Amino acid sequence: MSQLTPVNIGAPVVVARANALAGENTAKLPDPPGVDDLTSWSQENYQMSWKVAASLGFPIAHVDSDVSRTLVVFGTSRWADVDSDDGHVYRFGVAMRVLVDLEASSFKTGLTLPQIAAAVEISEATASAQLIVRGYKGTALGKLLPPWQTFNVDSYAQYMNAITQIQQEILEHPDEVVPVLLATTLAAQSMPATEDAIGTVTALNAVVSGQTLEEALATASNAAAKNGDLEADDLRAAVQQAYEKLGVPDGTPPDDDTRRRAQHLLGPLAPHHWWDRRS
């Protein structure tokens, strides 16, 4: 079984992207549980690269190729796991998550919020943070959510205060809870921040615009040259494989039917991916 991975994107998009990448409808969209079925509470702590975090739908302060960045997700959630008979687990519920976009010369695993705040205070790291609530429709949260801001000892205290107030708000108004997808074992294959996924999107875009394979490979090479975190050979290989799957001959522009098919496949893949916003 794949690892349960947090997401910040709706379940329909996760499932649609997984099926588009697989080329078949193997992933099944489950029905979310009712509020009364959310019988589990837990603390969560995830640490991931900024590239993976952005692909999973988490907002980050800015997008670049700085390899010294990581995103740390801390949170509290009330949840229930759902099995849709496709071999994957879908965790639905309500969650409060603190996202810390951290830049440092080196990173340790198992970081805590106080440790990050202390490191910022002594100039060992810089960090910005945002508090996100998922699965709650009550309007009272608007005044409780702090915006992106520099994260230090003072803002740590502000976040702890906001979390306390938000948790109280949610506990007192369970009728305002609307369970949403918080994590799933499907996420790793449905939104991978890899050359394979990026190459697939690049190829589909190229087919839609009527490019030959050679033109699409040139586009991939240019993308890799602009972004040092991408392997050019792997990206080009993914583009070529996508063209082969679509049946586009070398040196020949895709026909209208193939372009329409590529447009259909591109639909669930393109939205919210960081590589679509790097130009």
| Domain locations along the chain | 5-189, 194-277
Q: What is the pLDDT of residue 243?
A: 93
Q: Phi and psi of 205, rounded to 5°?
A: -60, -40
Helix (H, G, I), strand (E, B) or coil at 95: strand
Which pLDDT tens digit goes with each residue over 49-85?
A: 877 787 788 877 655 544 478 889 999 999 999 988 8
Which pLDDT tens digit goes with each residue over 178-233?
A: 999 999 998 876 554 456 667 777 888 899 999 999 999 998 888 777 665 567 88
Consecutive H or E run containing 82: strand 69-83
Which pLDDT tens digit goes with each residue over 227-275?
A: 655 678 888 888 998 899 899 998 999 999 999 888 777 654 444 343 3
272 against 160, higher pLDDT: 160
Q: Phi and psi of 125, rounded to 5°?
A: -160, 160
**Average pLDDT across the chain, whole number:** 84
Type of residue numbered 206? A
Q: What is the pLDDT of residue 279?
A: 35
The token pair at 99 is 């996202």
Q: What is the pLDDT of residue 274?
A: 37
108 against 117, higher pLDDT: 117
Do 158 and 152 touch, CB atoms closer than 8 A?
no
50 by Cβ neighbours in 10 Å (0-12 / 13-18 / 19+) ranks as buried
Do 33 and 82 touch, CB atoms closer than 8 A?
yes
What percent of the chain shows pLDDT beyond 90? 43
**Owner of token pair 């030959």:** 212
- CA-to-CA separations, 247 to 22, 38, 88, in angstroms, rounded: 16, 47, 31
Nearest to 125 by CA among 192, 63, 72: 72
Q: What is the pLDDT of residue 260?
A: 87
Type of residue numbered 190? S
Cα 30 to chain centroid distance, Å, stands at 19
